[in-house]
Amino acid sequence: MTAVGWLQIAIFAVIVGLLTHPLGGYLARVYAGERTFLSRLLTPVEAALYRIADVKPELEQSWYRYATAFLVFHLLGTAALYALLRVQSVLPFNPEQMPAVAPDLALNTAVSFVTNTSWQSYSGETTLSYASQMAGIAVQSFLSVASGIAVVIALIRGFARRRSATIGNFWVDLTRGTLYVLLPLCIVAALFLVTSGVPQTLAPPAEVTTLEGTTQVIARGPVATQEVIKLMSGDGGGFFNANSAHPFENPTPLTNLAEVVLIMVLGAALTNCFGRMIGSERQGWILLAVMAILFGLGVSGIYPLEAAGNPVLAALQVDQTPNSQQPGGNMEGKEVRFGIAGSALFANASTASSDGAVNSMHDSFLPLSGGILLANMMVDEVIVGAPGSGLFGMLLFCIVTVFLGGLMIGRTPEYVGKKIGAVEIKMAILALIWVPAATLGLTAVASVAPAGLAGLGNGGPHGYSEMLYAYTSATATNGSAFAGLNANTPFYNLTLAVAMFIGRFFVIVSVLAVAGALATQPIIPRSAGTLPTDGALFVGFLLGVIVIVGGLTYLPALALGPIVEHLQLSGGVLY
Amino acid sequence: MLDFIMLALIVVCFVLAQAYAGLCNQLLAFAPEQNDKADSP
């Protein structure tokens, strides 16, 4: 470990912390329908879109109609992206004459990007045309995150409203999120990346003559625009197979820092937006504090582990100390320009945030580091998470926490003025149970199915970790890959698509049901019997619930993979 | 042919999700009564 490494991590934390408050305020104004500094420019565009789509913005929806609109919108999006991938060979903007994507891979990819997962069983530069990248992948990256934010805004309205039968209008929330939040931020960030060396072109791949005299084809394309939404959306699907390890996606240590900030900033700002919308910013800071502690625990585990290096190499007396000649530590699968700290920070942010972008190969991390990356995803992506899904996951845990607190002190549980009754807790538990059920169930199937075992790149506990990581990543809508697993087979394409579908849509339907149930209630005043949710006690309580629920659910699975691999690594056994 | 199967799979998955939403809606129909019964001491 080096001081510069820790400094990078500290700078990242300070930037995200400083941006949370102003961006949270902006988000609150946007979703409340108030004027912003972009209103003069965007209000006519917004009004025109409503006219074209025959949307009446003043008409609000019940939770059921909101959920139906959400599902119908994404059904059409999935079908459209599937069709685009299947006919890309006859469409323009295909300079490399890419053929149609295979049906099972097209299904997997369509579900992947519509669900904000961006699991990629393909290499972007050798599979997709520019039209598919721009009109398919990038568009769904925008829409999937805009709809995710819409869902959490609906849930926040459930907390904030008194005796209301409605939770907002899905079409309005979707449109405002895309127009006022995502597009402006992406334009600014894309220009920064272009000035840093990220390509943005429709020209075909460059053919160059190398120093040895051979010809090399260098893939390029409209990378910068897709890169930004890939990071900000919690999507993570790269233009290139190497994702953010590729120098055209992430050329410098400065872009690396900017990319990690982009991954986390919207999710962090939504906690402040939550606080403002319920009338207590402190409640938002409490949630951010819990997220920050969990994030800090993760990066404080991964960075020292990776910096210490591989114990097998240490036993062979290989020098793994950092010095002017080498970065030191476990550099397998990492980019020299980012080093251990830049890789550990990115990996922790990517798995904590549900983004799933990678700037290093997680398969090459030491077993315990890989276990931490898995654990980040296994706690339902509540450590900031993707914009929207991270916060609604955290709010579900808040509901469970006050419920447990209520059981302990014999009072009806309350959270931010709303009673948590039988229906709310049932819906919250249903929402939380879908992810582990799909993850562990499908991993179990893959562990015994010949088609599942055929895709493994390694044996023993490492091979098991590859499968567990794949289904955890898919169900948690993270999308990062452990590598090593050949997932482009009909078995993995279909089962991972099922995992992504359950992890996104069944969870969100449950969340919207919670929102609907909460919105109908009055807001009750705080009393002597109310468990305080704006202090250090609640931070500790919430942390405990997240860790214990996650631990009880997944510890046996982690023990079979990264934990046993770590113990065997100490004995010199490798997989 | 495979395309029709894949598109049918997509539709079936969304129909299942919509059916799940319908079930949740039925459950919520009883929500006010249940919450009224559960009161703070």
Task: Report the residue of chain B nearest A413, measured CA to CA.
Answer: B40
Side chain identity at residue A387, one-letter code: P
Inspect the interface and report whether the beta carbons of B38 and A527 lie closer than 8 Å. no
Question: Residue A415's beta-bridge partner residues?
Answer: A418
Query: How does the average pLDDT of chain A come out, rounded?
Result: 91
Inspect the interface and report whether the beta carbons of B3 and A86 lie closer than 8 Å. yes
CB A261 within 8 A of CB A15: yes
DSSP 8-state symbol, A258: H
Joined together, the tokens standing for residue A71 give 């599902």
**Nearest Cβ partner for A423 among B9, B14, B34:** B34
Query: How many beta-carbon pairs below 8 A join chains A and B?
Result: 91
**Integer angstrom CA distances of residue A179 from A38, A54, A257:** 9, 18, 26
pLDDT beneath 70: ranges in chain A: none
**What sign for the dihedral angle of Cα A139, A439, A381, A482?**
negative
**Nearest Cβ partner for A419 among B9, B35, B41:** B35
Asked if A64 has any chain B CB less than 8 Å from its own CB, the reply is yes
Contacts of residue A321, defined as CB under 8 A and 6 or more positions apart, other chains included, come to A328
Task: Report the residue of chain B nearest A73, measured CA to CA.
Answer: B14
Instruction: Choose from A75, A147, A407 for mutation: most chain B CBs within 10 A.
Output: A75
Using left for φ > 0, alpha for ψ between -120 and 50, and beta otherwise, residue A156 falls in: alpha
Task: Report the residue of chain A nearest B29, measured CA to CA.
Answer: A517
**Nearest Cβ partner for A516 among B5, B28, B30:** B28
Interface residues of B toward A, Cβ cutoff 8 Å, are 2-3, 5-7, 9-11, 13-14, 17-18, 20-22, 24-25, 27-28, 30-32, 34-35, 38-41
**Nearest Cβ partner for A513 among B13, B18, B28:** B28
Collapsing DSSP to helix, strand or coil, A418 comes out as strand
- Residue pLDDT, tens place only, A246-294: 999 999 999 999 999 999 999 999 999 999 999 999 999 999 999 999 9
Asked if A403 has any chain B CB less than 8 Å from its own CB, the reply is no
DSSP 8-state symbol, A123: -
* Nearest partner of A299 among A543, A3, A5, A553, judged by Cα: A5
CB A264 within 8 A of CB A378: no
Neighbour count for residue A277 (Cβ, 10 Å): 22
Segment A245-250 long-range contacts (CB within 8 Å, at least 24 positions apart)? A245/A335, A245/A358, A245/A359, A245/A360, A245/A361, A247/A197, A247/A337, A248/A197, A248/A198, A248/A199, A248/A219, A248/A220, A248/A223, A249/A198, A249/A223, A250/A198, A250/A338, A250/A359
Give the H or E element holding residue A217: strand A215-218
Inspect the interface and report whether the beta carbons of B28 and A517 lie closer than 8 Å. yes
d(CA A184, CA A508): 26
DSSP 8-state symbol, A182: I
Joined together, the tokens standing for residue A340 give 């251990």
Neighbour count for residue A313 (Cβ, 10 Å): 13
Output the pLDDT for position B38. Answer: 45
Beta strand spans in A385-508 (E) = 414-415, 418-419
**Nearest Cβ partner for A78 among B10, B21, B22:** B10
Task: Report the residue of chain A nearest B16, measured CA to CA.
Answer: A506
Output the pLDDT for position A263. Answer: 92
Inspect the interface and report whether the beta carbons of B41 and A68 lie closer than 8 Å. no
Q: Supply angle C-alpha A551, A553, A558, rounded to 5.
A: 65
**A252 vs chain B: nearest CA distance in angstroms?**
40
Instruction: Report chain A residues whose CB lies below 8 A from the CB of B11.
Output: 75, 79
Which of residues 481 through 510 in chain A touch B, CB cutoff 8 A?
A: 498, 501, 505-506, 509-510
Inspect the interface and report whether the beta carbons of A71 and B18 lie closer than 8 Å. yes
Output the pLDDT for position A489. Answer: 92
Residue B31 pLDDT class (50, 70, 90 cuts): low
Inspect the interface and report whether the beta carbons of B17 and A509 lie closer than 8 Å. yes
Judging by beta carbons within 10 Å of its beta carbon (0-12, 13-18, 19+), is residue A303 exposed, middle or buried?
buried
Output the pLDDT for position A271. Answer: 95
Residue B37 pLDDT class (50, 70, 90 cuts): very low
Inspect the interface and report whether the beta carbons of A529 and B40 lie closer than 8 Å. yes
d(CA A432, CA A393): 8
Instruction: Report chain A residues whose CB lies below 8 A from the CB of B23.
Output: none
End-to-end CA distance of chain B: 63
Instruction: Choose from B2, B4, B9, B10 for mutation: most chain A CBs within 10 A.
Output: B10
Inspect the interface and report whether the beta carbons of A517 and B10 lie closer than 8 Å. no
Task: Report the residue of chain B nearest A423, measured CA to CA.
Answer: B31
Output the pLDDT for position A515. Answer: 94
**A68 vs chain B: nearest CA distance in angstroms?**
7
H helices within A309-421, ranges in order? 311-315, 339-352, 367-378, 389-409
Instruction: Report chain A residues whose CB lies below 8 A from the CB of B28.
Output: 63, 423, 427, 513, 516-517
Inspect the interface and report whether the beta carbons of B41 and A529 lie closer than 8 Å. yes
Question: Residue A216's beta-bridge partner residues?
Answer: A208
H helix count then E strand count, chain B: 2, 0
**A471 vs chain B: nearest CA distance in angstroms?**
18
Dihedral angle of Cα A195, A198, A203, A205, to the nearest 10 degrees: 150
Joined together, the tokens standing for residue B36 give 């009224």
Instruction: Report chain A residues whose CB lies below 8 A from the CB of B24.
Output: 427, 430, 509-510, 513
**Integer angstrom CA distances of residue A197 from A200, A256, A511, B9:** 9, 12, 41, 42
Asked if A74 has any chain B CB less than 8 Å from its own CB, the reply is yes
Asked if A412 has any chain B CB less than 8 Å from its own CB, the reply is yes
CB A474 within 8 A of CB A501: no
* Nearest partner of A267 among A293, A289, A288, A236, judged by Cα: A288
Asked if A408 has any chain B CB less than 8 Å from its own CB, the reply is no
H helix count then E strand count, chain A: 23, 4
Give the H or E element holding residue A484: none
CB A502 within 8 A of CB A494: no
**Integer angstrom CA distances of residue A17 from A112, A152, A271:** 30, 21, 11
Residues in chain B: 41
**Integer angstrom CA distances of residue A458 from A150, A453, A467, B34:** 41, 10, 10, 52
CB A8 within 8 A of CB A342: yes
Asked if A53 has any chain B CB less than 8 Å from its own CB, the reply is no
Joined together, the tokens standing for residue A92 give 């323009």
Instruction: Choose from A163, A423, A530 for mutation: most chain B CBs within 10 A.
Output: A423
- Residue pLDDT, tens place only, A147-187: 999 999 999 999 999 888 999 999 999 999 999 999 999 99
Instruction: Report chain B residues whose CB lies below 8 A from the CB of A424.
Output: 31
Neighbour count for residue B33 (Cβ, 10 Å): 10
d(CA A15, CA A7): 12
